[in-house]
Structure 1
Amino acid sequence: MNRFRIQAAGALLCALLPLHALAKVPADQAARLDNDLTPFGAVRAGDPALGIPAWTGGLQQPPAGYPGPGAFDIDPFPEQRPQLIIDSANRAQYAEHLSEGVQALFSAYPSFKVPVYPTERTFAAPPEVYANTRANASRAELTSGGNGFGGAVGGIPFPIPQSGLEAIWNHIARWQGRYFDEVSTTAQVRADGSYSSLRERNQLLSNYYAANQTTEGLGNILYRYMNQILPPSRSAGETLLVHETIDQVQAPRMAWNYFPGQRRVRRAPTVAYDNPVDGYVSDDADMYNGAPNRYDWKIVGKQALFVPYNNYRLNQPGRAFNDILKPGHINPDLTRWELHRVWVLEATLKTGERHVYAKRRFYLDEDSWNILMAESFDSRGQLWRVNLAFTQQAYEVPTLTTSVIVYHDLISRDYSALGLRSQEKNPRQFQLPVPPDSYWQPANLRRLGTN
């Protein structure tokens, strides 16, 4: 497929999109989710010329040899080898399938490589999430000028998006399990490859995907999130609690910090937008999170690009961090890239609003709505950060989950790698008992910080 064909396909898609957001789609459009579209709104058919297969249900069952729930996922494609390896010498041959950010990584780091494997459309979700998504297609609508949404619960809110705002809400409210609990390490890697690390516990409880949740009972809480700094850090015991609202204009995100040295719980009003955090900013977390109100959002179109996908090798138990963390980028030999169709979404800072990023570009997996790659530009229009989400299908749930997220700073030449779990006893856990409501309250933070 040549460059013209890809660009023409994107232009055709944009031409078919309405000039204003209609939100709810008519019944005949919603019915496409059982026909030519997948339950999440992706094109069900493949593209044989590109080697993209049809979606046939994804990877819903663990492969042979998987020890069981709570164990590290094993690679379902252990015999596969790269079909090609793109590097700084041959990247021009594949430019039509490389994002601007990935090309910038080739320019910045001669050692950067993209090992391309066969495309496997492994994404799958539970049947009830598909059913909720079908219902949402005909009832969901944006609220507060697009800064929230209503009429949706338990599934993708806008599986047939008609605006950039609907598309970004699909990522924010995507299916990633009802509850997970993990211990992982964040590494800040300097240009010479040396790094500092921070071990932490992260828990996320979805209210939106709670069992038997209804639109009436949902309220304005999307999820609750807890982060605890663990030993050996001198900051061990510091705890952050977030109650994430759906409509952050109606009620802004609520966040609280506990600091052991002060033995006090305080509101944390700066945990949002461009508050700096370990080599990135607050709304870079999870590739994008929080209120979208400071940007104008636009769907550019769809494109077939090489993206990180099915990355099971990075977090295999016992793998040394020194084997993963290299100068400029993580070890490319441990990564897996595939050719997938992605939604290309651009966010431009509104006149009068403030943010360190003047423009952002996101690449959303058509099958799962996960942002797989992101590019952030400064006020001069210079590409500043390139973020990559190395994902894998958690087939025991099932859902697409992140293995490692890497935030590259092209100016400082540093990067941050989040989600390193290979030195832990357990991977991200989806099957543990859910803590009670009292656990997720500010009054509980002091007790947690002293345990």
Structure 2
Amino acid sequence: MKQRIAVAFGAFCIAYAGLAAAKVGADEAAKLGKDLTPIGAEKAGNKDGTIPEWTPAAKRGQLKGEYPNEPKIDGEKPKFTITKANMAQYESMLSEGHKYLLKTFDTYKMNVYPTHRFVNFPDEIKAATGKNATTCEMIGTDILDNCKLGFPFPIPKTGAEPVWNHKLKFRGDYAKRYNNQMIVQRNGDFQLTKIIEDAAFYYGSITKAVPLTKDSGEFLRYLSRTVAPPRLAGTFILVHEKAGTGEAGRAAWLYTPALKRIRRAPTVCCDNPYEGTDGHQFYDQVDMFNGSLERFNWKLVGKKELYIPYDSNKIAGNTVKYKDLIRPNHLNQDLPRYELHRVWVVEANIKAGTSHTFKKRVMYIDEDSWNIVLEDNYDNRDQLMQLHEGHLVIGYNILAAGTVPEVIYHFNSGRYFITAAFNEDQPYDLSVKYNDDYFNASSVQKMTTK
């Protein structure tokens, strides 16, 4: 019987403990800020002009109360629409999951808009990324050394490196997120779960960055509290996210009202279902992907041009209600926005002797933000099982980017799952501050009695 490795949604294990890889030479790093953007994307557009040159946005807006918006583009009309009838024309620029949806549902379509490349990051992040290019190393797939503040691998050489760029992307110092989740049945009926999440980002903190070394690896702390429905209300999940293996890796705790105490939870990991999702989201699917890489072999396939969800301000904002967003079988495809962008393609294949529900994962990672925006997931029969779709928005108020909402299409059941939505709640609050003690198990236990 294959042994399931209880490493939590940010814990890490090494494939080959003695091997270090990934820093590049000074000549190659010198391309950053010249031919490449400061974080490693191609600065120029493509040959036919369908992908423009990088034009970074300026910082604007408040840290609290800002729904995603960009007046320059939010009123644009689609250039064209991809449907089942014409999808062959665009097949080379579509993920397998999008092809499946187009072939399966006559009602599914993809409205394609002009491409914009506004993603930008603070100067401190860009400068630190340049330094990381020649100093940051990866040991195995799950321990980093000599990395500080910026993206660790702006010029990736292995499949695990773009994934670490995603995991360590800049998100400010602290955040409070109102995470609304929906399990959507084939007929469009849905069940709503409301979660409030708090996070402290140590590695990506401009004011007090915590470096990652082979001996020290905590890079964020996370606390979630379920507030609805009543049967799930009062559930807490606490995570100390670390780069490491075994007991040196992720530490996690779970509090449920039935037990009335907080306890260590090694199952907050990998392909174990996230509490309250009825199996529709695994722990390692939060934020598209997080946690240990050690169950898979990671291959850097290369770059390609792909239609991906981008500048998704409309479906992330407060003008769209959930009843408008949800339709049977898939989202209301009048609302999402797709653009043509260059993405890194990373393929993860399950290692012999380990186990996971997914035998293969193919990730598509936006070159300008290092966000995973799409993932095709395959089962142990090599059948396409899921499309995981993250709708990218830009946080102009801190100069960052993330995916809101995220959707997991389950092709075996016909249901889909929406997470990270806040349309009918509040947007991210990036003005909050937390003491480290706030994220301790004893503090959480006290919260449960209030």
Partner residue in 1 for 2:13: none
Q: What is the one-letter code of the residue matched to 2:428?
A: R
Q: What is the one-letter code of the residue matched to 2:441?
A: P
Q: Cα–Cα, structure 1 residues 176 and 67, in superposed 2: closer, same or farther, change >3 Å? A: closer
1:209 aligns with 2:229: no
Q: How does 1:349-428 map to 2 (within 5 A)?
A: 349-424=350-425, 426-428=426-428
Q: Please, which of 190, 193, 215 is the counterpart of residue 188 of structure 2?
A: 193
Q: Please, which of 91, 96, 107 is the counterpart of residue 100 of structure 1?
A: 96
The answer to whether the 8 Å contact 1:53/1:119 transfers is: yes
Offset of residue 265 of structure 1: 0.8
The answer to which of 436-445 and 314-323 deviates more is 314-323
Q: Determine helix, strand or coil for the equivalent of 1:334.
A: coil
Q: What is the one-letter code of the residue matched to 2:141?
A: G
Q: Cα–Cα, structure 1 residues 318 and 232, in superposed 2: closer, same or farther, change >3 Å? A: farther
Q: Please, which of 58, 61, 73 is the counterpart of residue 60 of structure 1?
A: 58
Q: What is the one-letter code of the residue matched to 1:53?
A: P
The 2-side partners of 1:119 and 1:68 are apart by: 26
Q: What is the one-letter code of the residue matched to 1:304?
A: E
The 1-side partners of 2:112 and 2:308 are apart by: 9
The 1-side partners of 2:204 and 2:247 are apart by: 21
The 2-side partners of 1:262 and 1:318 are apart by: 40
Partner residue in 1 for 2:7: none
Offset of residue 333 of structure 1: 1.1
Q: Cα–Cα, structure 1 residues 35 and 386, in superposed 2: closer, same or farther, change >3 Å? A: same
Q: What is the one-letter code of the residue matched to 1:244?
A: E
For normalisation by structure 1, the TM-score amounts to 0.91
Gaps of 5+ in 2: 1-18
The 2-side partners of 1:318 and 1:259 are apart by: 34
For normalisation by structure 2, the TM-score amounts to 0.91
1:332 aligns with 2:333: yes
Q: Please, which of 130, 135, 147 is the counterpart of residue 152 of structure 1?
A: 147
RMSD of Structure 2 on Structure 1 (CA)? 1.8
Offset of residue 249 of structure 1: 4.7
Which one scores higher on RCO, CA 8 angstroms, separation ≥ 6?
2
The 2-side partners of 1:215 and 1:113 are apart by: 44
The answer to whether the 8 Å contact 1:40/1:130 transfers is: yes
The answer to whether the 8 Å contact 2:221/2:240 transfers is: yes
**Deviation per residue, 1:181-232 (Å, 9 max, x gap):** 0213100001111111101101221111122325379932011011100144
Q: Determine helix, strand or coil for the equivalent of 2:268.
A: coil
Q: What is the one-letter code of the residue matched to 1:381?
A: D
Offset of residue 78 of structure 1: 2.7
Offset of residue 421 of structure 1: 1.0
The answer to which of 302-311 and 232-241 deviates more is 232-241
Offset of residue 431 of structure 1: 2.0
Partner residue in 1 for 2:110: 114
Offset of residue 48 of structure 1: 4.4
The 1-side partners of 2:238 and 2:245 are apart by: 16
The 1-side partners of 2:62 and 2:173 are apart by: 22
Offset of residue 268 of structure 1: 0.9
Partner residue in 1 for 2:435: 436
Q: Cα–Cα, structure 1 residues 235 and 180, in superposed 2: closer, same or farther, change >3 Å? A: same
Offset of residue 320 of structure 1: 2.0
Q: Determine helix, strand or coil for the equivalent of 1:128.
A: helix
Partner residue in 1 for 2:135: 139
Gaps of 5+ in 1: 1-19
Give the structure with the larger helix fraction: 1
Structure 1 residue ranges (4+ consecutive) displaced by more than 4 angstroms after TM superposition: 66-69
The answer to whether the 8 Å contact 1:101/1:386 transfers is: yes
Q: Cα–Cα, structure 1 residues 244 and 214, in superposed 2: closer, same or farther, change >3 Å? A: closer
1:44 aligns with 2:43: yes
**Deviation per residue, 1:151-183 (Å, 9 max, x gap):** 101110010111112122111112223221021
Q: Determine helix, strand or coil for the equivalent of 2:129.
A: helix
Q: Cα–Cα, structure 1 residues 214 and 266, in superposed 2: closer, same or farther, change >3 Å? A: closer
User: How many residues end up aligned between the 2 structures?
Assistant: 425
Offset of residue 235 of structure 1: 1.8
